[in-house]
Amino acid sequence: MASAMTMTQKILARRAGKESVKAGELITAKLDLVLGNDITSPLAIKEFEKIGVSKVFDREKIALVPDHFCPNKDIKSAQQAKDVREFAKKYGIKNYFEVGQMGIEHALIPEKGLVTAGDVVIGADSHTCTYGALGAFSTGIGSTDMATGMAAGELWFKVPDAIKVVLKEKPQKYVSGKDVILHLIGLIGVDGARYMSLEFSGEGVASLSMDDRFTIANMAIEAGAKNGIFPVDDKTMEYINAHSNKPYEVFEADADAPYAQTVEINLSTLDYTVACPHLPSNTKTVKDIGEVKLDQVVIGSCTNGRIEDLRVAAKIMKGKKIAPGLRCIVFPATQNIYLQAMEEGLLKTMVEFGAAVSTPTCGPCLGGHMGILAAGERCLATTNRNFIGRMGHTESEVYLASPAVAAASAITGKISAPEEVEK
């Protein structure tokens, strides 16, 4: 008789061809997608060539998305993008997306329907865990593992233990998925889920939009998790059916599945949460943070650059002006989101407000380009990390928050709740 398993363990067991698996077990699982970007793919390409195979395992199950230093910021980044472009052409990689067709990889991949429920996905980027929002097992790996995945179509994994996160009731207005995940990381710490699966459950899940779920799953890695994963419900199915024609399989955790820990979060009492320098776990509510003056606000990234994020920010900005001396940069996460935001008038609202709107790029989030901080500057960002020097100078500071808090803060010039600026 098979032992009880979590949702993640069931997916891994199926792709490993086993009846059951348990935490700590080493398995080899078949891959449904292998992902790389312009920073991680060049090294993977070099390792792939060393393997000596003449083709990739499946031209349709590899995705290459130059997004970190794209549009290219300098000669070195241009060469990296060129290396990826030439590899994609040489091996006939179907899912290659560059400037003009591109997006920030973790927003683009679900939008293109390349991941569905029950998939096993690896990506040479730590925030590959985003796709757990669709009921898939997805995790970040190194470039060498990416090379192996492209060649063999399978990879070894250590089956993770799990933390069950029970979400209750519904969040208040403007409280979003970003507040949920920052609150959780604040509770358990940046290594609180190290090499474990964060498995979300409870009636509160139904009140979260898909964009909320993508945000939460995206930042599972910031608690040290191997992956984050959501149950597949009507909202998930609606999203999958609207974006993909791939077959999928729905897995559910057993009622008696083993968990290392259970955490409960009441969404109705959750407040706007901000991660203060220099860790995502250094969290405070906006009302407890005091007066924190800002030099820059960034709205976007693979965490919060989706259409709902832009709608909320534009709603708060509409008819108002940016704080004197503040810079606000907005990065829609994909070309489709950019176009939709344009058609809905959101970009017009943001430009009239005083924000700069950019083509999709990861640039500012990793301190790559387009929004680098000088010594002593403070930025409030809807991104996912705020380590020392993350967005520029080692003496700069990064605060993480939701798009609603970011937009309100851009109006006041200091970290603020949306209610402070709404009339």
Chain segment 319-329, per-residue pLDDT in tens: 999 999 999 99
Q: Is residue 310 part of a domain?
A: yes
My answer on whether 245 and 119 are in the same domain is yes
My answer on whether 200 and 281 are in the same domain is no
Q: Is residue 307 part of a domain?
A: yes
The model's pTM is 0.96
- Helix (H) or strand (E) run with residue 339 in it: helix 335-343
My answer on whether 17 and 156 are in the same domain is yes
pLDDT in tens, 343-385: 999 999 999 999 999 999 888 878 888 999 999 999 999 999 9
Q: Which residues pair with 265 in a beta bridge?
A: 167
Q: Is residue 21 part of a domain?
A: yes
Q: Is residue 133 part of a domain?
A: yes
pLDDT in tens, 1-32: 568 999 999 999 999 999 999 999 999 999 99
Average pLDDT, the chain: 95
Is 213 strand, coil or helix?
helix
Bin 376: left if φ > 0, else alpha if -120 < ψ < 50, else beta: left
Name residues whose C-beta falls within 8 Å of residue 121's C-beta, 6 or more positions apart in sequence.
Answer: 31, 32, 33, 34, 35, 115, 128, 131, 136, 137, 138, 139
Name residues whose C-beta falls within 8 Å of residue 347's C-beta, 6 or more positions apart in sequence.
Answer: 330, 332, 338, 341, 357
My answer on whether 101 and 28 are in the same domain is yes
Q: Which of 209, 231, 265 is the last residue of a domain?
A: 265
CATH (domain of 103): 3.30.499.10
My answer on whether 61 and 96 are in the same domain is yes
Name residues whose C-beta falls within 8 Å of residue 27's C-beta, 6 or more positions apart in sequence.
Answer: 12, 13, 16, 18, 21, 156, 157, 159
Q: Which of 265, 281, 298 is the last residue of a domain?
A: 265
pLDDT in tens, 220-253: 999 999 999 999 999 999 999 999 999 999 999 9
DSSP assignment of 350-368: HHHHT-EE--S--TTTTTS
Q: Is residue 2 part of a domain?
A: no
Q: What are phi and psi of 53, to 5 degrees?
A: -85, 160
pLDDT at residue number 368? 83
pLDDT in tens, 55-70: 999 999 999 999 898 8
Quote the Cα angle for 150-333-281, to 5°: 85
Q: Is residue 72 part of a domain?
A: yes
- Helix (H) or strand (E) run with residue 11 in it: helix 7-16
Q: Which of 235, 265, 295 is the last residue of a domain?
A: 265
pLDDT at residue number 423? 62
Contact 35, 122 (CB under 8 A): yes
My answer on whether 255 and 318 are in the same domain is no
How many domains, in total, are found in the chain? 2
Q: Is residue 115 part of a domain?
A: yes
My answer on whether 182 and 327 are in the same domain is no
Domain region containing 128: 7-265
- Helix (H) or strand (E) run with residue 242 in it: helix 234-243
Q: Is residue 1 part of a domain?
A: no
My answer on whether 218 and 196 are in the same domain is yes
My answer on whether 31 and 57 are in the same domain is yes
My answer on whether 130 and 180 are in the same domain is yes
My answer on whether 69 and 189 are in the same domain is yes
Contact 159, 23 (CB under 8 A): yes
My answer on whether 237 and 281 are in the same domain is no
Q: Which residues pair with 96 in a beta bridge?
A: 64
pLDDT at residue number 366? 83
pLDDT in tens, 266-319: 999 999 999 999 999 999 999 999 999 999 999 999 999 999 999 999 999 999
